[in-house]
């Protein structure tokens, strides 16, 4: 019976944490998202979109952002979930992805900052005014810039990395890599568009996600290539990990 109570209590803690965490993310920081989906912009987000619409708009945003970068000389570097898709899904989005993360190295960041506020009737490019405040683990301003769709609210997150005194590359979200794992950047493609990938993709993925990141058949709580299977144990572990990280960062 004690085990049952422990499980029930753990589930309640996780649900409460999720509610608080999503509420804080949706209403804090410069970039604001929908409470029910923190991968949709608060102003333009549209719920219950088919996956085809999400992917189509993300491809359009990527094409636009790549054009930005080519015009300024900045190099967009694919990271995180997009890099997993690049490795495991033939240089395309993972089936369940609904956003995209790109990093910009410090020497290229200034090239993009001048484009802040540029927009059309379909998209908006914004730079976080706190981009130059290098407080690691600032939980609500870790994104330095964002390419936002006005059509449905999907976006590309852009994070600036700078070189530290320890000769590593660091971002405000706490991700830190050896310079040799990132540079020299390797030109490649993603969804058919020109991007760059880190010099050592495997090491970057393992450091960010652990050794399971190199396993093509199961990742990010789902069986690779499907939508249906969710590993509930991994889900609980991830929620508890996020909770502990949040508590530690508040100390």
pLDDT at position 196 is 98
Residues of 98-121 as b/e, b for ≥16 C-beta within 10 angstroms?
Answer: bbbbbbbbeebbebbeebeeeeee
More confident: 216 or 237: 216
248: left (phi over 0), alpha (psi -120 to 50) or beta: alpha
Domain parsing of the chain, residue ranges = 2-250
Q: How confident is the model at residue 178 (pLDDT cuts 50, 70, 90)?
A: very high
Residues above pLDDT 70, as percent of the chain: 78
- The model carries a pTM of 0.79
pLDDT in tens, 94-109: 888 899 999 999 989 9
**Cα distance between residue 40 and residue 56, in whole Å:** 15
Mean pLDDT of the chain: 84
Contact 100, 58 (CB under 8 A): yes
Query: What angle separates helix 232-250 from helix 2-27, to the nearest 10 degrees?
Result: 60
Query: What angle separates helix 80-88 from helix 201-209, to the nearest 10 degrees?
Result: 130
pLDDT in tens, 33-84: 998 788 999 999 998 899 999 999 999 999 999 999 999 999 999 999 999 9
Structure tokens belonging to residue 19: 């509610």
**Cα distance between residue 38 and residue 47, in whole Å:** 11
Residue range 133-162: average pLDDT?
A: 92
Query: Is residue 168 over pLDDT 60?
Result: yes
pLDDT at position 128 is 96
**Cα distance between residue 123 and residue 155, in whole Å:** 9
The least confident of 155-159, 168-172, 220-224 is 220-224
């Amino acid at each position: 019976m004690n085990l049952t109570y422990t499980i029930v209590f753990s589930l309640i803690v996780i649900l409460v944490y999720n509610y608080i965490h999503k509420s804080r993310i949706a209403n804090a920081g410069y970039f604001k998202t929908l409470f029910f989906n923190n991968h949709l912009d608060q102003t333009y987000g549209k719920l219950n979109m088919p996956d085809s619409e999400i992917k189509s708009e993300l491809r359009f945003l990527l094409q636009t952002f790549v054009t930005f970068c080519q015009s300024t000389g900045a190099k967009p570097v694919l990271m995180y979930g997009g890099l997993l898709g690049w490795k495991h899904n033939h240089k395309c989005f993972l089936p369940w992805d609904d956003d995209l993360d790109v990093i910009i190295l410090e020497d290229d960041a200034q090239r993009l900052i001048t484009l802040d506020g540029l927009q059309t009737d379909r998209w908006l490019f914004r730079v976080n005014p706190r981009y130059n405040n290098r407080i690691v683990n600032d939980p609500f301003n870790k994104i330095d810039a964002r390419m936002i769709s006005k059509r449905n609210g999907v976006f590309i997150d852009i994070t600036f990395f700078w070189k530290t005194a320890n000769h590593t590359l660091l971002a405000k979200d706490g991700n830190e890599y050896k310079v040799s794992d990132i540079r020299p950047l390797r030109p490649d493609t993603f969804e058919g568009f020109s991007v760059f990938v880190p010099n050592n993709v495997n090491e970057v993925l393992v450091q960010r996600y652990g050794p399971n990141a190199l396993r093509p058949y199961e990742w990010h709580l789902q069986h690779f290539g499907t939508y249906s299977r969710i590993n509930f144990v991994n889900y609980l572990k991830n929620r508890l990990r996020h909770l502990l990280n949040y508590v530690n960062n508040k100390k």
